[in-house]
Structure 1
Amino acid sequence: MKSLALILAGGTGTELGVLTRQRAKSAVPFGGRYRVIDFCLSNCVHSGILDIAILAQYSPKSLIDHIGTGKPWDLDRRSGGVSILQPTHNGEAANWYLGTADALYQNVDLIRNSKAETILVLSGDQVYGMDYRPLIERHIARGLDATLVTKEIPARQRSRFGMVRCSRNGVVTAFREKPTSSSDRFASLGIYVFRRDFLLGALGPDRVDIVFDIVMPAIARRAVAAYQFEGYWEDIGSIASFYRASLQLLERRSLIADERRPVYTRESELPPARCSESARVSNSIIADGCVIGGTVRGSILFPGVAVERGALVEDSIVFSFSRVGAGAAVRRAILDKFVVVGSGATVGGAARGRGSDPADSVAVVGRKARVASGAAVRRGEAVEPHAGVGRREKP
């Protein structure tokens, strides 16, 4: 049975701070060469879903440039493929998406004109690998209006998610959005399958949010099933979660190194990475085009990064075409694209102490910012895009 995938990718990602000042959350780089949305798109392709619409809104240029015609995902095709849809304009003002359900409603003609019987609604800012086919098959077999995907999570994280309670036969009986405490163990992951006719009837001009305006009324009618997902899944919703999920790749490479289900992305077309005699690299991901003359430990370097002789990059994430000058030290930090760290400068620092969460108080430097020679960006500080720290470097 044919399915249509709608990927919600319009979020601002305010908790990601300077990383989303100029790009959508789904377009944030991840894992040394990817964008976050690559994981969702690759899941669709591996699941045989080749009719995909991305609903974008906030700062879409980076996302649009990255997706292009969809060729890296084999989605540049006459029938189906991938399209990026933005809020419509009525001649007087842009009708910005008011919420997730409103985004679907503004594109209801796409759903109405589709030949798909099942509509898959996904979030474009999550990192996970999933075959959607068993989910869709289970949804069809149950014959209910909707199916939502759940995952068991630790008690300390439950206040971040919508928590789900189910009957013994897997029908959802209750849904609590971000409760302060919860005895329920399963969280909704924001992955839904809807029966097409149900979704068309549920959408309307006064329906704003998928959870409150579509899913919860269906739960009250016992018309929603739960599908438990047991694989790796991470919502990149904050600097701490982004940093933690990124460095986890150094220990669990299977998410990005599974030859049976590769994560597709736009290639950098740069030459191989090069390490000089003075380079020391350990437990790191080094992308194409990097030039290493210093020390890199426990870090992820995106394409085209330069680490000069005597510099140190440790427990850090460095986006494309940034440069760390001679003798500089970058520890527990995130550098956005085209950042320049001058010689002898320091960014970030060691962990607060034994037992502290290494993801807390990460230093973040925004796109095209410059840290002057000898200047310092302290642990937990954020530098805005295009900003300068310390004295101006000589050209």
Structure 2
Amino acid sequence: MKKELLGVIDATTYHDDLEDLLTHRSLAALPFAGRYRIIDFVLSNMVNSGIRSVAIFPKLQYRSLMDHLGSGKNWDLNRKRDGLFFFPSPIIDNDSNRIGSFDRFAENLDFFYRSTQEYTIITNCYTVFNMNFKPLLEWHIRTGCDITDIYHKDGHSMEMYLVKTSLLIKLIETRDVTGYTCMKDAVTDLNSLYTVCHYDYTGYSVMIDSIQNYFSTSMNLLQTNIWKQLFLKDQPILTKVKDEPPTKYMKDSSVQNAMIANGCEINGTVENSIVSRGVKIGKGSVIKNCIIMQKCQIDDNCYLDSVILDKDVKVEAGTHLTGSALTPFVVRKGTKQGALMNS
């Protein structure tokens, strides 16, 4: 049991710049790449690294996250021992962007007491990357670090921390004495009694923290070289499985450089876009540089360029919506867009 890892995902973060997409969901549950949620990446990384016990700490609007994760079966975490644990936080505060809050962990300190894993990896929920944590753990042990802060190749912290579980418990228990409120406080204190190390991760990694960032990262997936860095055969990104029929491409449809999920019906033109499950696109409609989320309906003769449609949006016939790469046009979940509304 010595070199086993406990996984902890902090899903409490809220970014104001993503407000239009977070009205009905947490950041962890934000749809991505047609069939995934943002949390799928870090959760899959943990499972692919041999982690068999994962605790998720959400705060607000976590119904869709719970619905997506379920029992953890799709990640092989529906176990009699260990498995997937969900610890919603009753703490309502304005400090929502500090990863690894010791106050939140303290509410469920018994979980850490009972854990048999000697080490704990604490992560955020909104980084798109594919990383095996085993080499990190070996490096951490070999170098004699107390806390390891994972850094991206651009020199910034990825807000992911590796620490002995016993030390994590100590940091939680002594937070009122040390003044440490979260993991970041512990790693940035120049007078710290602990050996803090930086581990450089050189793979593809993007932290989703704004609409523009979400849009550009999604569009970049249409580049083969980036796709291959993120979706690896030996380290698959797992997600909730849905049994849906294949997509229907009607005789007048045209699709170029696009990702189309199952269950869609395409009658129009789709270029450089990501289309999620169950979307219907009408005749004569043109979709360019767009992100179309689940079960949207786009009627005939519409034109959409640089648009993000959240789930269950209906776009009426003849509607034209145009944004840009820097400021994509965002339509909130479950709303209707009509030609008269935009004239």
TM-score of the superposed pair, with normalisation by structure 2: 0.92
Identity level (%): 29
Q: Name the counterpart of 2:167.
A: 198
Q: Distance in 2 between matches of 1:11 and 1:219?
A: 28
Q: Name the counterpart of 1:296.
A: 270
The equivalent position to 1:247 in structure 2, one of 211, 214, 219, is 219
Q: Name the counterpart of 2:327.
A: 361
* Paired AA for residue 203 in structure 1: I
The residue correspondences of 1:234-383 to structure 2 (distance < 5 A) are 234-251=206-223, 252-255=226-229, 257-349=231-323, 351=324, 358=325, 360-376=326-342
* Paired AA for residue 188 in structure 1: S
- How far is the alpha carbon of 1:374 from its aligned partner? 4.2
* Per-residue CA distance 1:155-194 (angstroms, 9 max, x = gap): xxxxxxxxxxxxxxxxxxxxxxxxxxxxxxx111011101
- How far is the alpha carbon of 1:218 from its aligned partner? 7.0
1:211 counterpart = 2:156:
no
* Per-residue CA distance 1:113-144 (angstroms, 9 max, x = gap): 21111111011111000000000111111222
Q: Name the counterpart of 2:156.
A: 187
SS in structure 2 of the partner of residue 6 of structure 1? strand
Q: Distance in 1 between matches of 2:59 and 2:188?
A: 25
- TM-aligned CA distance change 1:343 to 1:210, over 3 Å: same
- How far is the alpha carbon of 1:96 from its aligned partner? 3.9
The equivalent position to 1:228 in structure 2, one of 154, 177, 200, is 200
- How far is the alpha carbon of 1:102 from its aligned partner? 2.1
Q: Name the counterpart of 1:45.
A: 47
CA contact (8 A) 2:307 2:328 kept: yes
Q: What is the root-mean-square deviation of aligned Cα atoms in Å? A: 1.7
* Paired AA for residue 253 in structure 2: A
CA contact (8 A) 1:4 1:49 kept: yes
1:67 counterpart = 2:69:
yes
CA contact (8 A) 1:12 1:58 kept: no
In structure 1, the gaps of 5 or more residues are 88-93, 154-185, 352-357, 377-389, 391-395
SS in structure 2 of the partner of residue 253 of structure 1? helix
1:133 counterpart = 2:106:
no
- How far is the alpha carbon of 1:103 from its aligned partner? 2.1
Q: Name the counterpart of 1:167.
A: none
- How far is the alpha carbon of 1:261 from its aligned partner? 1.5
- Counting matched residue pairs gives 330
TM-score of the superposed pair, with normalisation by structure 1: 0.80
Q: Distance in 2 between matches of 1:220 and 1:77?
A: 38
- How far is the alpha carbon of 1:256 from its aligned partner? 5.3
CA contact (8 A) 1:346 1:375 kept: no
- How far is the alpha carbon of 1:36 from its aligned partner? 0.3
Q: Distance in 2 between matches of 1:266 and 1:201?
A: 36
* Paired AA for residue 234 in structure 1: V
